[in-house]
A and B are shown apart, each in its own frame.
Chain A
Amino acid sequence: MEPPVIALENVTVTYRSGFLGGTAFDALRGVSLNVSAGETVGLVGESGSGKTTLGRVCLGLLHPTAGRMHFAGTPFGGLRQRRGQLSVVLQHPEWALNPRLRCGRSVDEPLILTGVPAAARRKRVAEILEQVGLDPSFAARLPGQLSGGQRQRVAIARALVTRPRFIVFDEAVSALDVSVQAQVLNLIRDLQERHDFGALFISHDIAATRYVSHRIAVMLKGEIVEDGPAGKFYASPEHPYSRALLAAV
């Protein structure tokens, strides 16, 4: 069987603050989580529960204090070795794109970093913009001329352009209006079917999360308290905290 794209084993992240690391605080405590190709794992929990920290660990932006992390069966290593293999879509549409770069250039950047020749890059950028439902003419526009939903589409195009094996969506639809949210959620589902990437969908919104996810992990105070198929979160999750989240839907 193919190994999962991301496998976390007993990962702990400890923040130290104060003089000589006087006070320690565990942002993550013994977290184990697998994400397979073609699978979306939803990660829900309130702010401060450690879900963003977990996302940063999976992206290689933060090194675990303890525990092991594998990417497609091999130890994670550094980000430079993983060029083109993983990417991220973040919350604020107004901050997702460099306001001084034309959208095409933003989408192009991961390709430049992986050393793709210019002609191939142009073709690929046009192709991926089309796949996220944007006319290729958007490549020439600046982010300031786009709506929030359009910017988030460009951000998704940038995340997908190198055909990565793993994508983290960190509150990717939270700042969007309801009608636009549905467009973006559907887009994520369709693109996954096509590209077969593994995804971690981080959100405080359980309704949106269960809609895009195959599996959901619930975080509370740095630990995963419940991990099960998304269908369970339409009916009756076990942990009382999961039920409290569901009550608000």
Chain B
Amino acid sequence: MSGLARIARRGRPRPNGLTIFGVVTLGCLLFLGVFGPWLPLGDPSRIAAGPRLDAPSAQFLFGTDELGRNFLPRVVQGIRSTFLLSAVAVAITAVIGTLLGMAAGYLGRHTDQIVARGADILFAFPALVAGLLVAAIMGPGQASAITVISIATLPLFIRVVRSVTLGVAGRGFVTAAEVAGASTLRVMLVHLLPNVMGAVIVQLTYALSIGMIIESGLSFLGLGVQPPNASLGSLLRQGSAYLTIAPWMVLSSGVVLSLAIMSVNLVGDAVRDALEPLKGRPLT
């Protein structure tokens, strides 16, 4: 290894303002999502809690909807279902994608051909078309939202894990384990998995933001979360009908959704920078 390359790897970037903004925003949203039902915000499904389509006030911070429901607890419930649905979908996908990616990268040959081609086909499939197709087959609801998110994000995991595995599999410790007589499963779990986890974690955050976009999109089209439950997407749909007379509904759910996706991406960038410091930085 050249001395210069070694020198260039020293040091670590400090967190910047955007990262801090992302972490704080995401933290607040997750707090609301997790503890929302127990916070004194009001009942999201109580009809006629106030006047219909009432503008934001001290009593109803985000106003009320066309059934007179308090909109703030509905947005909080939306955060909860959007995050929860995407997280469940992405977690399932990550496990499957990591196993498939490792198998493709390590076993090579036919396994690799099948898995990598399969990932390419999924990757080429537009998420919206997949969503309509899945909703048509499975019917609208949470299960089809999870399926669509999985279809859209599975290739991300397979591709990244496969390429990282290809690099790790050629290293000395893997060969040493093979020579010592370790089984394929053992090599994959003991030696490959811990070394691809970094890449999986980075991918998790990106997949989560994609999952949230897909979930909101499907719910916006009425194919995802069904009423009386709310997700940020279904709230946007609900509010869009009253955009001119009650803009606070679209505004509040839209701003929260943007903040959610942006903060997940910012945190994802920070995680990537922390795991792969100084990649390709120029000399002065």
A and B touch in the complex (CB under 8 A): yes
Among B173, B179, B182, contact of A59 (Cβ-Cβ < 8 Å): B179
A88 to B178, CA, bound (A): 10
Q: Do A98 and B194 touch (CB < 8 A)?
A: yes
12 A-B residue pairs with CB within 8 Å: A61-B175, A79-B179, A87-B179, A88-B179, A90-B172, A94-B1, A95-B171, A95-B173, A98-B194, A98-B195, A99-B195, A106-B173
For A100, give the chain B residue with the smallest CB separation: B194
B interface SS class: helix
Q: Do B175 and A97 touch (CB < 8 A)?
A: no
A88 to B173, CA, bound (A): 10
For A78, give the chain B residue with the smallest CB separation: B181
A240 to B180, CA, bound (A): 38
> Chain B contacts of A100 at CB under 8 A?
194-195
Among B173, B181, B195, contact of A113 (Cβ-Cβ < 8 Å): B181
Q: Which residues of A contact B (CB under 8 A)?
A: 59-61, 79-80, 82-84, 86-92, 94-101, 106, 109-110, 113-114, 155, 158-159, 162, 175
The size bracket of the interface on B is: 10 to 19
Among B1, B171, B175, B182, contact of A109 (Cβ-Cβ < 8 Å): B182
Q: Tell me if B283 is interfacial: C-beta within 8 Å of chain A.
A: no
Extra inter-chain contacts (8) besides given A61-B178, A88-B179, A113-B180, CB under 8 Å: A59-B179, A60-B179, A79-B178, A88-B175, A90-B175, A91-B172, A96-B172, A110-B181
B residues 168-196 near A (Cβ < 8 Å) are 171-173, 175-182, 190-191, 194-195
> Chain B contacts of A97 at CB under 8 A?
172-173
A96 to B1, CA, bound (A): 15
> Chain B contacts of A110 at CB under 8 A?
180-181
Q: Do B194 and A113 touch (CB < 8 A)?
A: no
A34 to B195, CA, bound (A): 37
Q: Do A83 and B181 touch (CB < 8 A)?
A: yes
Q: Do A61 and B171 touch (CB < 8 A)?
A: no
> Chain A contacts of B172 at CB under 8 A?
88, 90-92, 95-97, 155
Q: Nearest Cβ distance between residue A52 and chain B, in whole angstroms?
A: 11
For A94, give the chain B residue with the smallest CB separation: B1
